[in-house]
Structure 1
């Protein structure tokens, strides 16, 4: 038998988030580029060693990035946007971070800012950021125009290959494919088609493949996940000629697809002139037999049999039942891998000593998935470790049977749910009139999205409380003081609608999951979201319900400190679902409905406590869309209904807000409108209000707050810049329906830059009012 194992990518952030902390020290000027590069080199070596120790036949090189793998390719392919006006005496890494974070200009007090009022907006704002297919990972969007040029411009990949080879590893290099790279980008010139750039891009890929071949690399993994999408005909047609050209180099290409079935692209993928094809056996198990039949016998078939997107232990018996017939069809030749990069899973279970043994036995993180690959390979070859297989079987069986998972009272509540539970009492115009009478807000009301800076003092208090070093009463008092601090600063700035600042919250999903039944939490289960930003997704393992109020006391305390409206801040059911690792033993729609009922209880308790504005954030609703449009309607029906169930248990004068960010929403505007939130806030500053155009064309009926301040960049936009954005917004949305707010929460920013930016925001709103 000829069975090989490999992975498509590995978590780059480190077992204890070493890369995150090194990045942030570098950005603060505390460590040099050389020190940061040294940290990256150490992490790469450690991760390659883990792959080799697990018995993988190849280590994967090219999956490491200091910020994002798409940004790596922008530099690698020599297409850094001309608008940055880079001084090419700058180091590649400094240019790289400028694309990711924008240009910082500093005044004498050390505060970063944008051009002065009245000056044109800086062209050095960061690249747009959006979701990587249907994940919670964000990538930086390439910008294309007729002037775009490509060249082999960065040595980082070939240097990393040399690093791995020097350590004695058999290397498989990994690249994003040329068609996927173009697809992920954005035209910056009206009427331009980025696919026309393919002819000049392919020779650069060929040159890169030739460099890798000269280094002794025998296999190059080229990721083309867009083969799982509904592609226009021109894009489908481009694949064969593109890969015919790349195949001329003479290096073995493993074409990798994932996240979706191939469907009408199945035969295309199988006949492409490449040496091998990787397919996602988790998202498209029904296609495996067809791929095995269609793929010519001389080509390698790589099966993604381990779930790269979730954390459940693999049912190895079921996996073997799938693999054995495929192995027979392929004449004893097969490659085994996770379905996609393990970037989307935490690093290792080893430090999770606080988990109940039964719960821990159900899980497998990235490092454990390497071991599962080895077990599958040995079992297929007839050399299986019977003890390890027995342990795996026990973990799988325990989860299926556990009384921890099923709660009869939750099932009963779902059965008793009223058919009208997802409807408000009155239409939006009637609600709007009542809300305007109640709140008496000015035109262009100002607010923020929810969180304020999580200072070192806040984090230290929370850590001390979790370690048992700070009594509950002392921790509560510390958080109440932080809330008072946030409220007083907002009042001093002159904001119209306030928030309590979320000092007590570690994360917008984790905070709620910790207070809901059916969730478990890890100590170091971190996953990269973008750059240095990591999240620790909860694990939804059982039926969800709310034992007690989660936010009411904090919000009521904040409201007691001001006469201005105080928004209650909640995370919506779809975002909690999407940003968690979710049980796979029932439909996701059922889990979403359970969460929605828990949030509905909280919304009603906030209203009963006198809170008149309640924001239910749903930034992940677009992210949850199936990649195939034919499946969108079914998902959107249950996802929007879950939101409405969470939001609709209140009276007409209670104003429901929602927030969405960093995704393209224009293709689902009818469904967003169907959510029937009174106010929606969206991210629009990085796109220069482009995202708002669709809302205007659609004639979005409710109120909307387009973000005028990119909180993911340290730069501070001027009042003039924000006024310009608001004027653009007023041209497509009735000004009476416009709010003024940042793009997202301010948790990751410092107070100095936050206050400076919000002062400009308040002044911009006043200018728009004519005051």
Structure 2
């Protein structure tokens, strides 16, 4: 990116009411067959135009073609049975009924590549595409085959790498891996989690990012946050290893959170997608609030490496709230950009 402080979203945006039930994760599609394909493409175009209108610089697909950031990828793989479900705890936070790994996992065909080609055809802007990270994928399943979190993570890393290389060939400029599990399983992150992430990104010539947050603004996550005390220092566990990794960009949340800003010093030298928009509230940040967050971050991140972003995905928010937050993000970044560029 040549533009100073280029803005982006963490990933998801609310879906139009004609595609799926709004403000709900795992919402069922309202259409099927060819009508659903057309509706998904229409929603992609709406998400694109919403971002362009707001002044967002790095465009995402808004995850319009997937029901959920993890399960949509998994349901396109061989070896996972969605009819054999088990109840497991997700990131030690809440229980969910999840599919089972019943035999060796593999990817029979590309999953998001056609969507990426469609988006690429409609914009010349930088495109960022999010994929679930290996550790977060294994935390959303019951493994009855490998019976080893690490072994399954490495298998998923190989599959993710296949998809990522095809997305790059389709014109995607930044591949992002979503790893909220990095804020929970600290020993595994350092033992093999970062290594598995690097395997997922192996051979990519485009930029790579890892997004680590405290989750969507859903009750299970907001309740968990209330137990974390006055300082959220989870990033302290993964950042040193990530600073030494081959991943180019670290994406994290900072707005309205108790993350001490000085933890950014641990990833000095990396590009930082800094969450300056809170996705757990319907309150719209003012551009000045966004700017204040970015100014604090600039004490620890060089200006040419700071990418203003949202804390997490915005799928559960009302569409107008999410849109207004995008405008606030772009306008707040513009305030600081002008300050940095003024003589």
The alignment's TM-score, normalised by the length of structure 2, stands at: 0.84
Change in 2 beyond 3 A, CA 1:668/1:568: closer
Superposition map of 1:747-766 within 5 A = 747-766=315-334
Matched, 1:729 2:297: yes
| Distance in 2 (alpha carbons) for counterparts of 1:714 and 1:561 | 30
Whether the 8 Å CA contact 1:513–1:538 is kept in 2: the answer is no
How far apart are residue 624 of structure 1 and its match? 2.3
Change in 2 beyond 3 A, CA 1:684/1:535: farther
| Distance in 2 (alpha carbons) for counterparts of 1:538 and 1:671 | 31
Equivalent position of 2:78 in the other structure = 517
Equivalent position of 2:249 in the other structure = 679
How far apart are residue 545 of structure 1 and its match? 1.1
How far apart are residue 585 of structure 1 and its match? 4.8
Equivalent position of 2:60 in the other structure = 499
How far apart are residue 730 of structure 1 and its match? 0.8
Equivalent position of 1:573 in the other structure = 134
Matched, 1:657 2:225: no
| Distance in 1 (alpha carbons) for counterparts of 2:157 and 2:184 | 18
Change in 2 beyond 3 A, CA 1:587/1:610: same
Equivalent position of 2:336 in the other structure = 768
Equivalent position of 1:668 in the other structure = 238
Tell me which of 463, 468, 492 is aligned to 2:29. 463
Equivalent position of 1:28 in the other structure = none
| Distance in 2 (alpha carbons) for counterparts of 1:695 and 1:674 | 14
Q: How many residues get paired? A: 314
Change in 2 beyond 3 A, CA 1:541/1:673: farther
Structure with higher strand content:
2
| Distance in 2 (alpha carbons) for counterparts of 1:668 and 1:689 | 14
SS in structure 2 of the partner of residue 723 of structure 1: helix
Superposition map of 1:100-119 within 5 A = none
How far apart are residue 622 of structure 1 and its match? 3.0
How far apart are residue 506 of structure 1 and its match? 1.1
- Structure scoring higher RCO (CA < 8 A, sep ≥ 6) equals 2
Equivalent position of 1:482 in the other structure = 43
SS in structure 2 of the partner of residue 658 of structure 1: strand
Whether the 8 Å CA contact 2:103–2:145 is kept in 1: the answer is no
SS in structure 2 of the partner of residue 456 of structure 1: coil
Equivalent position of 1:383 in the other structure = none
How far apart are residue 756 of structure 1 and its match? 1.1
Deviation per CA, 1:87-110: give whole Å up to 9, x if none: xxxxxxxxxxxxxxxxxxxxxxxx
Equivalent position of 1:10 in the other structure = none
SS in structure 2 of the partner of residue 566 of structure 1: strand
User: Where do 5+ consecutive residues of structure 2 fail to align?
Assistant: 22-26, 215-231
Tell me which of 123, 131, 135 is aligned to 1:562. 123
Equivalent position of 2:99 in the other structure = 538
Equivalent position of 1:648 in the other structure = 202
Superposition map of 1:322-471 within 5 A = 439-440=1-2, 442-459=3-20, 462-465=28-31, 470=32
Change in 2 beyond 3 A, CA 1:543/1:445: same
Equivalent position of 2:264 in the other structure = 695
Equivalent position of 1:614 in the other structure = 175
Deviation per CA, 1:528-550: give whole Å up to 9, x if none: 879xx986533223221111001
| Distance in 2 (alpha carbons) for counterparts of 1:722 and 1:688 | 16
Superposition map of 1:128-139 within 5 A = none
SS in structure 1 of the partner of residue 101 of structure 2: strand
| Distance in 1 (alpha carbons) for counterparts of 2:282 and 2:88 | 23
Whether the 8 Å CA contact 2:177–2:209 is kept in 1: the answer is yes
| Distance in 1 (alpha carbons) for counterparts of 2:65 and 2:87 | 20
CA RMSD of aligned residues (A): 2.4
Whether the 8 Å CA contact 1:600–1:645 is kept in 2: the answer is yes
| Distance in 2 (alpha carbons) for counterparts of 1:761 and 1:536 | 35
Whether the 8 Å CA contact 1:575–1:619 is kept in 2: the answer is yes
Whether the 8 Å CA contact 1:509–1:537 is kept in 2: the answer is no
Equivalent position of 1:69 in the other structure = none
The alignment's TM-score, normalised by the length of structure 1, stands at: 0.39
| Distance in 1 (alpha carbons) for counterparts of 2:259 and 2:185 | 23
Change in 2 beyond 3 A, CA 1:536/1:560: farther
SS in structure 1 of the partner of residue 307 of structure 2: coil
Change in 2 beyond 3 A, CA 1:765/1:600: same
Equivalent position of 1:549 in the other structure = 110
Larger radius of gyration: 1
